[in-house]
Amino acid sequence: MCGIVGYAGSRQAGPILLDGLARLEYRGYDSAGVAVLSPGGGLCVKKTKGRLSALNELTDSGRALDGVIGVGHTRWATHGEPNDVNSHPHVGENGRIAVVHNGIIENYAEIKKFLRQKGLTFQSDTDTEVVAQLLEYYLSGGEDLISAVYKVLHRIEGAYALGILCADTPDSFVAARKDAPLIIGYGGNCNFIASDVTAIIKYTHEVSYMDDGEVAVVTKDSVEVYDALRRRVEKPRHTVDWDVSDAEKGGYEHFMFKEIMEQPEALRATIYPRVKDGRVVFEELKIGEEYIRKLKKIYIAACGSSYHVGMIGKYNLERLTRIPTETVLASELRYSDPLIDKDTLVIVISQSGETLDSMAALREAKSRGARILSIVNVVGSSIARESDDVVYTHAGPEIAVATTKAYSTQLAVLNMLGVYFAGLLGKMEPEQYDEIVAELRLLPEKAARVLADTERIKYLASRCFNHESVFYIGRNLDYALGLEGSLKLKEISYIHSEAYAAGELKHGTISLIEPGTLVVALCTYLPLFDKAMSNVVEVISRGASVVALTAEGRAGELSGTVEPENILTVPETHPVLEPSLGIIPLQLFAYYIALQRGCDIDKPRNLAKSVTVE
């Protein structure tokens, strides 16, 4: 969702901005633009609807833009359709200010009305244009740029990461942040801002994370940061511990496939440091046994695939710890007057750590006295910083919009938390504890075994890609697994797909099963294998074409009912861990189907990697 990059240095800014924007493409966008401070004074702005290739063409990949300071933007439309005019940067009426923005200015209509009454005219339908116009309005009243920026920030409501160029201050640009991600990058003899590290990792590993209310003035030699009261702030600097190659395809056709294949390594990096002498340990946690003993309830809040991890967490945390656990969509939690208090632990799961709904749920829970533990992949992200405890997944940068390795590592962490809490509470028999821990350590190797069999899944996908509607059915953990399998398929292949709790089929959905309907039957949760089998029989007897997924030793029991070449298997593990393996064939199935259908796998239509608006 909207990407921002800004550069101040001595090299030509255009190509650096275009390169940075290309690395932010994965966030999702429908138009793009850049603004550069021209050496002769004034602003040069180029923007266009569509992919970055169009902007590259318009600007000769940035080389046609003269100037060493500039900002760039990829827009994911919220206010106003994706077109050239609504693309960022937005310029004020006198052409002195150019603004790029990520977020939503909620009171834009009221400000627009005010400015129109003052005689200003607007070009676009966006909320962002009011920022540029309001800035110019204050500038023309005699304010200097920074005072004008503070006045604007006091006046606007909503969320923003802003990059501002002003023709009157040719050696710097200004950045500001509230509830939308923005980092500062220090490049030695140049400095940057960006929505995330991927945009600038090629140039620097040294970054600071801007906090809400802060304003930064960036020149080639310095970055000065001020808080909401305009007091100077010294920002701590962090070193990013991954490299540019981690954010590149490395010979794979798609990031999604690369990231699927990286899962054994990501699982190893996430699990192994947290198993010591046969015990699960979370050295990063500040909560101890006493707190966990007093816990009355756990809430898990998240969006999208992270929510699906939470759905598995509900089953497993309750099963292992016997603490009542509820998983809620973050976008619903904030408006549901939830029964959360100081005895509730709220676990927020987020790959990006920037999802606005998850952040809002976190704040809502915090305001009710809950302690927040977040499971986050992006180090230093907003959710991580506002949590009482953070457990980082070590998936590395995830670029494909459809999450794969981040999902797997989140799931590993959540299961490990269940084991850790249950161990502290004495809720598990020692043998059961030892068995789960041993199986946790085996997950990377078993995941690698599943990945060794991609050809079989590819073949199956080649037989299924023409379906227009698919049902995923399963019970208990398989139901939660089906939610994610179904989401993967629909988001990248655009096939209508739904996941159902298999036991619920007969209460409605079965009316949609007719000869040829594709049903993906998940039978990996072995305690309920027989029940799952009856549902398979139920749909087959109504003509469904079934693809089944089960544990290696159980394929034989399905083969009398399901065509043998439609049966996929994963190695057997402890039942609570089965979705960690089961998800891999489902990711691959979705991937190969999308490939057959010629879809834009890494950047599916209308979707964004990081959703920073409500």
Which residues participate in catalysis according to the annotation? Answer: 2, 609
Q: Provide the minimum distance between the beta carbon of 422 and ligand G6P in the complex, in angstroms, as a whole number.
A: 25
Run of H or E including 375: strand 371-376
> What are the C-alpha distances in Å from 303 to residues 197, 330, 349?
22, 6, 8
Residues 536/539/545/551 CA torsion (nearest 10 deg): -10
Nearer of residues 173 and 299 to ligand G6P, judged by Cβ: 299
136/602 with CB nearer ligand G6P: 602
Among 102, 133, 355, 493, binds ligand G6P (CB under 6 A): 355
Instruction: Report the residue closest to ligand G6P, judged by CB.
Output: 304
Residues 525-564 as x/- pattern, contact with ligand G6P by CB under 6 A: ----------------------------------------
Work out whether 381 is an interface residue with ligand G6P (CB under 6 A). Answer: no
Interface residue with ligand G6P, options 21, 71, 356, 401 (CB under 6 A): 401
The angle subtended at Cα 31 by Cα 29 and Cα 35, nearest 5°, is 115
Q: Does 403 engage in binding with ligand G6P (CB under 6 A)?
A: yes
Binding mask 581-610 vs ligand G6P (x if CB under 6 A, - otherwise)?
Answer: --------------------------x-xx
Residue 308 C-beta: closest distance to ligand G6P, Å: 8
How far apart are CB 398 and ligand G6P at their closest, in Å?
Answer: 9
- Restricted to residues 332-351, the positions that interact with ligand G6P (CB under 6 A) are 350-351
Q: Output 76 or 138, the one with its CB closest to ligand G6P.
A: 76
- Smallest CA-to-CA distance from 2 within 55, 54, 74 is with 74
Q: Of the two residues 220 and 314, which places its CB atom closer to ligand G6P in the complex?
A: 314
Selected binder of ligand G6P within 22, 505, 611, 613 (CB under 6 A): 611
How far is 351 from 321, CA to CA, in rounded Å?
Answer: 25
Tokens of 465: 């890609």
Instruction: Select 48 or 493, whichever has its Cβ closest to ligand G6P.
Output: 493
Contact between 352 and ligand G6P (CB under 6 A)?
A: yes
**Is there a contact between 457 and 429 (Cβ–Cβ < 8 Å)?**
no
How many residues sit close enough to ligand G6P to count as binding (CB under 6 A)? 16
Query: Two tokens at 67?
Result: 């100037």
In the bound state with ligand G6P, the residue whose beta carbon lies nearer, of 387 and 403, is 403
Near ligand G6P by CB under 6 A: residue from 358, 387, 535, 573 = 358
Three-state secondary structure of 464-523 = HCCCCEEEEEECCHHHHHHHHHHHHHHHHHCCEEEEEEHHHHHHCHHHHCCCCCEEEEEE
Shortest Cβ distance from residue 447 to ligand G6P (Å)? Answer: 19
Contacts of 202 (CB under 8 A, 6+ apart): 19, 23, 244
Specify the stretch interacting with ligand G6P by CB under 6 A; choose among 176-184, 397-405, 506-514, 593-601: 397-405
Q: Which residues does 108 contact at the CB level (< 8 Å), separation at least 6?
A: 79, 126, 127, 128, 130, 156, 158
Structure tokens at 84: 């050239």
Min CB(381)–ligand G6P separation in Å: 9
* CA distances (Å), origin 271, targets 374, 404, 444, 584: 16, 16, 9, 17
Smaller CB distance to ligand G6P: residue 115 or 401?
401
| Cα 374 from Cα 365, distance rounded (Å) | 12
C-beta of 563: minimal distance to ligand G6P in Å?
32
Quick one: tokens of 73?
Answer: 């933007």
- Cβ-based neighbour number of residue 301 at 10 Å: 32
Q: CB 124 → ligand G6P: shortest distance, Å?
A: 26
**CA-to-CA dists, residue 474 to 312, 417, 461, 479, 517, angstroms:** 13, 24, 20, 4, 16
Q: How far apart are CA 318 and CA 266, in angstroms?
A: 26
Question: Which listed range, 5-13, 165-173, 396-404, 536-544, lies at the site for ligand G6P (CB under 6 A)?
Answer: 396-404
Amino acid at 596: Q
CA angle 576, 582, 585 (to 5 degrees): 170
Instruction: Name residues contacting ligand G6P, limited to 269-328 (CB under 6 A).
Output: 303-306
Q: How far is the CB of 180 from ligand G6P (least distance, A)?
A: 14
**Can you read off the two tokens belonging to residue 78?**
């919220």
Comparing CB distances to ligand G6P, the nearer of 534 and 606 is 606
- CB nearer to ligand G6P: give 350 or 550: 350
List the strands of the sheet with 297-302, edge to edge.
325-329, 297-302, 344-350, 371-376, 389-392
Q: What are φ and ψ of residue 491, in 5° steps? A: -70, -30
Query: Is residue 391 near ligand G6P by the rule CB under 6 A?
Result: no
- Provide the minimum distance between the beta carbon of 403 and ligand G6P in the complex, in angstroms, as a whole number: 4
Verify binding: residue 18, ligand G6P, rule CB under 6 A. Answer: no
Binding residues for ligand G6P, per CB under 6 A?
303-306, 350-352, 355, 358, 401-403, 607, 609-611
